[in-house]
Amino acid sequence: MNKNRCIISGVDVFDLPFKFNEDSKDCQAVKQRLASTIAQLHGEGVDEFYTDCSYGFPLWGGEMVVGLMKYNDIMLYVVCPYENQAYEYASDWQDRFYKVHEHSTDVIPMYIEYDEVEDTRQFSDESEETLYKKAADYMLGDCGRLIFCGDNPDVKKEDYYIYRRAVELKYDIKTVQSN
């Protein structure tokens, strides 16, 4: 477990009280808390952040870390669960998704399988759910901290695999309240 590495994750954007309204005061407050938490952890020596760039909180976190990369010795790793992850995102969110990928330190695809015997690569035929879990496990294996957005009383953060596993692994977890 590496305490200098942190995962940025959270509840689905549809479960946030303000949904997609990034102009709302509540959303702006969440983003400010996220930015403060990232800055605090960076000040404590965290220099590598991981995200899967899911709609909402993980993508915002990726955008914030990319912004910090211009002026700080900090890295962002995007662990991409499947190739067409942003396919159903609104077009402006797709643009943001791809900008984070473009400016990240590295993109780690979970959807490509490597056959060592044949020395070949091929696309995985695993389900999206399985690939998201695979991405979460990859990040959990490399990190020791988690920033998680989700204190919405309607959504239990314990329902989220990455949160449950981080608790089991005794991660240092910073919760950013969503309301």
pLDDT tens for the chain, 179 residues: list them. 788 999 999 877 777 778 878 888 988 998 999 999 999 999 999 999 999 998 888 999 999 999 999 998 999 999 998 878 888 888 998 999 999 999 999 999 887 766 666 666 667 777 778 888 899 999 999 899 999 987 654 556 656 889 889 999 999 999 888 77
The predicted pLDDT at position 159 comes to 67
**Tens of pLDDT, residues 23-50:** 889 889 989 999 999 999 999 999 999 9
**Tens of pLDDT, residues 156-169:** 665 688 988 999 99
The predicted pLDDT at position 153 comes to 46
Please count the structural domains in the chain. 1
Domain that holds residue 119: 5-176
The predicted pLDDT at position 42 comes to 96
CATH number at residue 41: 3.40.50.450
Helix 57-69 / helix 91-103 crossing angle, nearest 10 deg:
40
Collapse the DSSP code of 79 into the 3-class scheme (helix H, G, I; strand E, B; otherwise coil) and give the result: strand
Which residues, in sequence order, are CB contacts of 6 under 8 Å at separation 6+? 41, 46, 48, 49, 50, 143, 144, 145, 146, 147
